[in-house]
Amino acid sequence: MEAEYEILYRGCTLSPTAVDDGEVHTAMVVVTKPNGEKHASGALGQFPSALSARQFAVAYGMAIVDGRELPVPDWPTSIKQPGLTRRGRN
């Protein structure tokens, strides 16, 4: 799996990735510092489109570089299958 593009931000390289998981896309980002040190985010959540997953990954990477509070997705981080319900025990 490779990032589709890289962004240079404050001397660091952000490599956002959106992994197609069927009906959703999982966001991830790798931040490479100028000295070559890398930080991989792992899965950041599931999003309704590849674009929204990559946009969130970029925002997350920028927050890492800036030392800011990390963003939280406004989309559910896991998608529930429609029509599936759990029944309680009687």
What would the pLDDT profile of 26-71 be if each residue is shown by its tens digit? Answer: 999 999 999 999 999 999 999 999 999 999 999 999 999 999 999 9
Q: pTM value? A: 0.79
Phi, psi dihedral angles at 55 (to 5 degrees): -60, -40
What would the pLDDT profile of 1-17 be if each residue is shown by its tens digit? Answer: 556 789 999 999 999 99
Which pLDDT band holds residue 21 (cuts at 50, 70, 90)?
confident
In a domain, 77, yes or no: no
Q: Domain of 35?
A: 7-66
- Residue 71: how many CB atoms within 10 A of its CB? 12
Query: How many structural domains are present in the chain?
Result: 1
Q: Which two tokens stand for residue 85?
A: 């319900």
In a domain, 22, yes or no: yes
Strand intervals (E) in the chain: 7-9, 12-20, 25-32, 38-40, 46-47
Q: Which two tokens stand for residue 8?
A: 């240079």
In a domain, 33, yes or no: yes
Residue 86, C-beta contacts closer than 8 angstroms, at least 6 positions apart: none
In a domain, 43, yes or no: yes
